[in-house]
Structure 1
Amino acid sequence: MNPVSTPADRDLVLVGGGHSHALALRMLAMNREPGLRLTLVSPDSLAAYSGMLPGLVAGHYTLEETHVDLRRLCQASGARFVRARVTDLDPAARRLTLDDGTTLDYDWLSLDVGATPDLDAVPGAAAHAVPVKPVSDFHYRWRSLLADLDHRTDELAISVVGGGAGGTEMILAVARALIDRGLAARLTLVTAGELLPGYPDAVRRRMARRLADYGVRLCTESPVRRVEAGRLILDHDTVAHDFLLWCTGVKAAPWLAASGLPCDERGFVRVDERLRSPADERIFAAGDCAAFPGGLPKAGVYAVRQARTLADNLATAAGGRALRAYRPQKRFLSLLSAGGRDAVGSRGPLLTVAGPWVWRWKDRIDRRFMARFDEPLPSMPAPAAEASPHCAGCGAKIGAAALGEALERLQPAVREGIEAGVDQADDAAVIRWPAGQRLGQTLDYFPAFLDEPHLFGRVAALHALSDLYAMNATPHSALATVCVPRHHPRLQARDLQRLMAGAVTELNRAGCTLVGGHTIEGPELAAGFTVNGAATPEALWHKGGARPGQCLILTGALGTGIQLASLMHGRARGPWLDATLEAMLAGNGAARVALAGLGDLDGTRPGACTDVTGFGLLGHLLEICQQSDVDARLNLETVPLLPGTLTLVEAGVTSTLKPANDQVLARCEHHGVASDDPRLAALTDPQTSGGLLFSIDRERAPAALAALRRHRVPATQVGELTVKNHKASATMTLHDGGPC
């Protein structure tokens, strides 16, 4: 699922998924600079297109239609995607610090992190106002307000602060959405100066007329002095609000100025005409976060036009060639949404148009822009043959310098009884084993499903630990086996450091000491862990302890194999993958603690337990049936699935392991379930870092579910165990509906 890596020797990191970066990434992919590896860092998988945001609020568009799916874009562009927020930039070390505490090194850096409304400029605004950015937070608050309004009979006061294009379009979009839902509210637009400053008089008049038509009270020349709960304090008036939206005055992310880069008075990064920082030739910036010579309005049209220059200059700078200047256009077409399917347009002071046909024109332009991100990239040339073959055997090891650089910042937790581990650098780990306990040992190893070493390292460690949790063993120690792609040693060190930092995060959380490992280089990133665990004989859970009449409980949801396969099929969607990765990163440690604690209370314990991984739910359930000499009855209606899983199955997306796993269906009887039911694909889908499947006495099932909920583990009762038909092999009955 991870394409074979082309050897690289430089890292270009793009921070932020704004308009400039989204377009530049496609351009860089189509004209790939040899040896340059691309990485995009963004806190969200979806990036809003500002031109369609009013239409989203008004109800003209869906969330998917108005956002660029950054995960899909990176997948198509051959770029890494790191879902994280940057909190610090160190230009001297060429290093970014992310909000998960990890670091990301670069050779070239581009910034397109936008701007956010400045709520600190007015007392009380931060406590009582809703900023329009980040869009994901605003959209959630807006949808929550609409849901609340549907159940209220009183009239709410909704106010928007900011009379520029953003605020004017937003109050009209809010008005349209309320009308379409049959809801009423008192709407007010407050601006410190005139309406739509910088726009032609004809545009201001037309938009003011539309505000009046929608019943919006307009307060011009009314700077907000203070915001209180329920009201705005102006110079000579007060304005009530139950929902306050802030669309004025923007500021930069604080870490930009804290980096020491030259910034303007609002903290935006100064750049020259080539979009490069005058203080650091390896750092570029574009879009709203860039302070261009002479100043430019914070408008998406400039960010879009900067993309070509930015992409060209990033490639040529990395290749050691001359850069070119960005020349901002003096005039551009401006199309303002006017609430309904209506718009006002202008190009300079002399041309102004308005009406539904202008909205249709704007709609075509916006949809055409967004369609660019769904278009497949032209076929890229095959990577050039490597100049010399690579050694096998011990010659395939990672170099000592790269290995040392990668491991020096790791801080594995050390358990008592580790006499020789990573710190001692002996030839083997030395461990004192507790008397009277059993050693549980398991090994997992697989290639990366996403080209993001830190995330992959976390999942690989959790996947390995899962086998110990399924047997109620306490993790003790681990050995790592890692294959790093054949890049420059500097990049190999970066990859190995991030992978192991992710793995050590999860191992430390589990109280499992990393005691050593082995690294090689190869065609793609891969990792695995041998983990040791301890348990007393009587505490161990097995697959062979299930009894007829017990209920089957599944933690988590199914579909990770299908979701990861969607990457190969080009059908992955960012929000679906986000949910999948969140499920994989949950691990089974909390579930094991919840179930073990339940047993401590009254002696009840799972009858049988296993983790759902490569053989799918049915494959692992069959193992329980065979080991416990029982049959099973599974209710498809209750089996939880990850978002988008059925949609992908119906589109023909399944894991390559599906044909082998589907053989278990021959052991199933179908009661009211069609043989082509798409849910069957989920039952045999191989899971990576999947949940636990366990049986428990019927009367103890409610207590088990409650204990799991207290530990924030999603769990569902999915079936029951029945008396085995001893004239046949173990069987499973699949049915649709009905209680356990």
Structure 2
Amino acid sequence: MMTSAANLDLVLVGGGHSHCLVLRMLAMAPIPGVRVTLVSPEPLSAYSGMLPGLIAGHYSLEETHVDLYRLCLATHTRFVQAAVTAINSQQRRLELNDGSQLEYDWLSLDVGATPDLSPLGYSLPKQVVPVKPVSGFYARWQQWVNDNPSASLAVVGAGAGGTEMVLAIAEYGRQQQRPLSLSLISGSILLPGYAASVRRKMQARLDDYGIRFLENTLVENQGGQVIANGQPLDADQVLWCTGVRGIPLFANSDLNCDKKGFVKINDTLQSHSDARVFAAGDCAAFPQPLPKAGVYAVRQAMTLARNLRAAIQGQPLTPYRPQSRFLSLLSAGGKDAVASRGGSLSLGGPLIWRWKDRIDRAFMRKFQDQLPRMAPALSDPDTLHCAGCGAKVGSDALGEALSALQPQINPGIEAGVDAADDAAVIQWPENRKLVQSLDFFPAFIDEPYRFGRIAALHSLSDLYAMNATPHSALANITLGWNHPRLQARDLRRLMAGAVHELNQAGCTLVGGHTIEGPQMAAGFTVNGGADSDTLWHKKGATPGDTIILTKPIGSGVQLAAMMHGAKLRGRWLGSTLDTLLQSNGPARDALASTPVHACTDITGFGLLGHLQEICSQSQVAIALETAAVPLLPGTIDLIKDGVTSTLNEANRSALLHCAHDDTIDDAMLTALCDPQTSGGLVFCVPGEHTSDALQRLAMNGVNGVAIGKVLVKDEKNAASIFIK
């Protein structure tokens, strides 16, 4: 996560085709002093040209989606997984759906479009499912086919997208031998704007699959029912593939938009209302109206990358010239396609499919095995960085960042973050135990808001493991060597994330220390209170206890995969980061009044290392059921592919205290030794309370799992943990 110093923020919103290509281009020739950030609500970005093939069963999910995590890591781009809900171009600030804010110096938009639902009155009947945004369509499609083994389906919209989609669904039904009644509905004709020869060929494919085509049909919503030409539409599900309009985000922006809500741009792809804002792809309204087709987004990428660079460096910009004709390759269900390029001529058949397949796979290889690996942008060579007390972040940046925080204030705090004193002052009740812990580690992701949340949760976990109630916290923050303006932005986001979690825990931020260095890092000294007779310890585990784990393991492997680049999978990493953001507070609260003989949290020593601590402190042995141990998605696959944390080798010393037979896979043993960040809690509860404890956890939203039993320690046996 070490990067060169920067003084400007370029933020790309949306992981569309244009932005994916722009990131490659900027990585190959970075703009000096510019930090690039990509914002997208999903870690995967669908390539629309292969979506019909995915639905039909010709491709896998990975083959048809750009992994944005991998792309960002390879191109030295920060990735913020969130949706933008509002744009304030006057203040150059974005509002995100996680409640945080993101500031920029330059902005580019490639967020696609949303279906025009005006014929339905914007109140969707239950059976209507918009195909766009395509990022979430595949998941919706899978759920539908699983819930409806034999059903009728209508696709509204007989343009290229709707026609390809209904043929893909028909091919899926043929391959799976599932009876599906399919209809394609058009308000005019089949494939308007295409040559008659193309329409004839695609009509023949519809006929071959037995798909009913209804032309000149008006589809409306009457009282929550879909009506086609005045009659109820006989379909269990209706896929809406008609025209599109701007996404709701632009209604919450101060950018100039057209009547359909698309951002108005000029021929240099700049917004009419703000020259620091660019737009490309379906979300943009070009001076000469263009069809909403991916081919234009792909061609716009080179102009967009060139003009972003030119605008930032104060150079002349280049106008985008859309092509007058382009090759159209339509999927036709099976491994079959129809090609046309203007005029009346067209070709179709398996050979055209193979041609289309080669083109599509070549495009996707740019984001799979042909990712660029370039150095980050050069920083200002005249920038100097101090050490010692001179490494403190400037008072202006610090004050500006802290002024927006609204930490919860607990009783007994006389001087906190708002007092600007040299130290915090806290009154502590005489009849309470002070429980204190400290954690600090470098950032493993370069997204300050999410990292701030995880760092706070990781620190609070030590208090929860001892059944202490969080009270107050001190922050220790290192910010990367960047311009003070960027440091202030990072500090605001990092502390906003941390205070969000601290406030959720009822823990007051009372102060801290901030310095600058080569890499962002964060930690917290946390204080908690507890009664002596309610504290949990690692000692106290009793034979007969059930061992309950509250989170899956494998985060060390997943984070190590980030360092391997090509071995990273965005879906797996996304699940891991979501798990790291789960507080252990609800687990502690669920069992606060339940008999707990011993407890600890799973962090750097891995599951086996922390279980060994319980064995040592309690003088017991443990029988561990590996089949019950929950793992993060992809953990075993990554381990078998050679990915492990650098700390794993040291953690494997815990195996010296274990006994297991040859049936236990070494990949599983590696997972059991995997160091965890913001890991779950391990509880040792009396066996007769197991069911009650699991039920209490579930009621608090915690997926607790019984993974073993506490045994009597056999002094004749050197093993403390028996792995089964």
TM-score bin, normalised by smaller chain? over 0.9
Q: Is it true that 1:475 corresponds to 2:470 in the alignment?
A: yes
Equivalent residue, structure 2, for 1:119: 117
The answer as to whether partners of 2:572 and 2:633 remain within 8 angstroms in 1 is yes
Please point out which of 513, 518, 524 is paired with 1:518: 513
1:464-543 aligned at under 5 Å gives the runs: 464-543=459-538
Q: Deviations over 1:220-248 (max 9, x none)?
A: 1112132565x532335442110110000
Root mean square deviation of aligned Cα: 1.5
C-alpha separation in 2, matches of 1:474 and 1:447: 26
Q: Deviations over 1:142-187 (max 9, x none)?
A: 112222333x5xxx22111001111111111111111111111221
Q: Deviations over 1:359-400 (max 9, x none)?
A: 111111111111110113154379568435422111000001
Deviation at 1:631, TM superposition (A): 1.1
Deviation at 1:327, TM superposition (A): 0.7
Equivalent residue, structure 1, for 2:706: 717
State the SS of the aligned residue for 2:631.
coil
C-alpha separation in 1, matches of 2:373 and 2:687: 57
State the SS of the aligned residue for 2:449.
helix
The answer as to whether partners of 1:549 and 1:697 remain within 8 angstroms in 2 is yes
C-alpha separation in 1, matches of 2:254 and 2:80: 24
Letter of the structure 2 residue corresponding to residue 483 of structure 1: T
1:153-172 aligned at under 5 Å gives the runs: 156-172=151-167
Equivalent residue, structure 1, for 2:37: 39
C-alpha separation in 2, matches of 1:708 and 1:351: 65
Equivalent residue, structure 1, for 2:574: 578
Q: Deviations over 1:489-522 (max 9, x none)?
A: 0000000000000000000000000000000000
1:580-619 aligned at under 5 Å gives the runs: 580-597=576-593, 599=594, 605-619=595-609
C-alpha separation in 1, matches of 2:216 and 2:417: 67
1:525-674 aligned at under 5 Å gives the runs: 525-570=520-565, 571-597=567-593, 599=594, 605-674=595-664
Equivalent residue, structure 1, for 2:53: 55
Deviation at 1:672, TM superposition (A): 4.3
C-alpha separation in 1, matches of 2:377 and 2:301: 26
The answer as to whether partners of 2:74 and 2:373 remain within 8 angstroms in 1 is no
* Pair 20,109 (structure 1): closer, same or farther in 2 beyond 3 Å: same
Equivalent residue, structure 1, for 2:357: 363
1:263-282 aligned at under 5 Å gives the runs: 263-282=257-276
Please point out which of 385, 388, 393 is paired with 1:393: 388
Letter of the structure 2 residue corresponding to residue 685 of structure 1: D
Please point out which of 79, 86, 89 is paired with 1:88: 86
Please point out which of 213, 222, 232 is paired with 1:218: 213
Equivalent residue, structure 1, for 2:291: 297
C-alpha separation in 2, matches of 1:486 and 1:360: 50
Equivalent residue, structure 1, for 2:685: 696
Identity of aligned residues (%): 58
Q: Which segment drifts farther, 137-146 or 616-625?
A: 137-146
1:122-133 aligned at under 5 Å gives the runs: 122-123=120-121, 126-128=124-126, 129-133=128-132
C-alpha separation in 2, matches of 1:201 and 1:177: 27
Q: Deviations over 1:427-461 (max 9, x none)?
A: 11111112311000000000000000000000000
* Equivalent residue pairs, number: 721
The answer as to whether partners of 1:123 and 1:227 remain within 8 angstroms in 2 is no
The answer as to whether partners of 1:622 and 1:730 remain within 8 angstroms in 2 is no
The answer as to whether partners of 2:157 and 2:242 remain within 8 angstroms in 1 is yes
Equivalent residue, structure 1, for 2:375: 380
State the SS of the aligned residue for 2:694.
helix
Letter of the structure 2 residue corresponding to residue 8 of structure 1: A
The answer as to whether partners of 1:673 and 1:734 remain within 8 angstroms in 2 is no
Equivalent residue, structure 1, for 2:301: 307
1:25-36 aligned at under 5 Å gives the runs: 25-36=23-34
What TM-score results when the alignment is normalised by the length of structure 2? 0.97
* Pair 24,706 (structure 1): closer, same or farther in 2 beyond 3 Å: same
Letter of the structure 2 residue corresponding to residue 334 of structure 1: S
State the SS of the aligned residue for 1:380.
coil
Equivalent residue, structure 1, for 2:136: 137
1:317-332 aligned at under 5 Å gives the runs: 317-332=311-326
Letter of the structure 2 residue corresponding to residue 577 of structure 1: L
* Pair 125,430 (structure 1): closer, same or farther in 2 beyond 3 Å: closer
* Pair 606,395 (structure 1): closer, same or farther in 2 beyond 3 Å: same
Please point out which of 61, 72, 78 is paired with 2:70: 72
Deviation at 1:567, TM superposition (A): 0.4
State the SS of the aligned residue for 2:259.
coil
Deviation at 1:721, TM superposition (A): 1.3
Q: Is it true that 1:146 corresponds to 2:145 in the alignment?
A: yes
Deviation at 1:256, TM superposition (A): 1.6
Gaps of at least 5 residues in structure 2 are none
Letter of the structure 1 residue corresponding to residue 349 of structure 2: G
Q: Deviations over 1:621-662 (max 9, x none)?
A: 110000001111111111110000001000000001011111
The answer as to whether partners of 1:626 and 1:730 remain within 8 angstroms in 2 is no
The answer as to whether partners of 2:658 and 2:719 remain within 8 angstroms in 1 is no
State the SS of the aligned residue for 2:529.
strand
State the SS of the aligned residue for 2:296.
helix
Deviation at 1:551, TM superposition (A): 1.4
* Pair 548,341 (structure 1): closer, same or farther in 2 beyond 3 Å: same
The answer as to whether partners of 2:656 and 2:719 remain within 8 angstroms in 1 is no
* Pair 53,645 (structure 1): closer, same or farther in 2 beyond 3 Å: same
C-alpha separation in 1, matches of 2:51 and 2:517: 45
Please point out which of 669, 672, 676 is paired with 1:687: 676
State the SS of the aligned residue for 1:499.
helix
Deviation at 1:211, TM superposition (A): 1.0
Equivalent residue, structure 2, for 1:425: 420
Deviation at 1:249, TM superposition (A): 2.1
The answer as to whether partners of 1:257 and 1:269 remain within 8 angstroms in 2 is no
Deviation at 1:69, TM superposition (A): 0.6
The answer as to whether partners of 1:454 and 1:503 remain within 8 angstroms in 2 is yes
Equivalent residue, structure 2, for 1:405: 400
C-alpha separation in 2, matches of 1:207 and 1:583: 46
Q: Which segment drifts farther, 123-132 or 629-638?
A: 123-132
Gaps of at least 5 residues in structure 1 are 600-604, 736-740
The answer as to whether partners of 1:671 and 1:733 remain within 8 angstroms in 2 is no
The answer as to whether partners of 1:629 and 1:730 remain within 8 angstroms in 2 is no
Letter of the structure 1 residue corresponding to residue 406 of structure 2: Q
State the SS of the aligned residue for 1:240.
coil
State the SS of the aligned residue for 2:158.
coil
The answer as to whether partners of 1:84 and 1:100 remain within 8 angstroms in 2 is yes
C-alpha separation in 2, matches of 1:652 and 1:348: 51
Equivalent residue, structure 2, for 1:602: none
State the SS of the aligned residue for 1:222.
coil
Q: Deviations over 1:553-575 (max 9, x none)?
A: 11110000000000001111111
Letter of the structure 2 residue corresponding to residue 592 of structure 1: R
What TM-score results when the alignment is normalised by the length of structure 1? 0.95
C-alpha separation in 1, matches of 2:685 and 2:252: 55
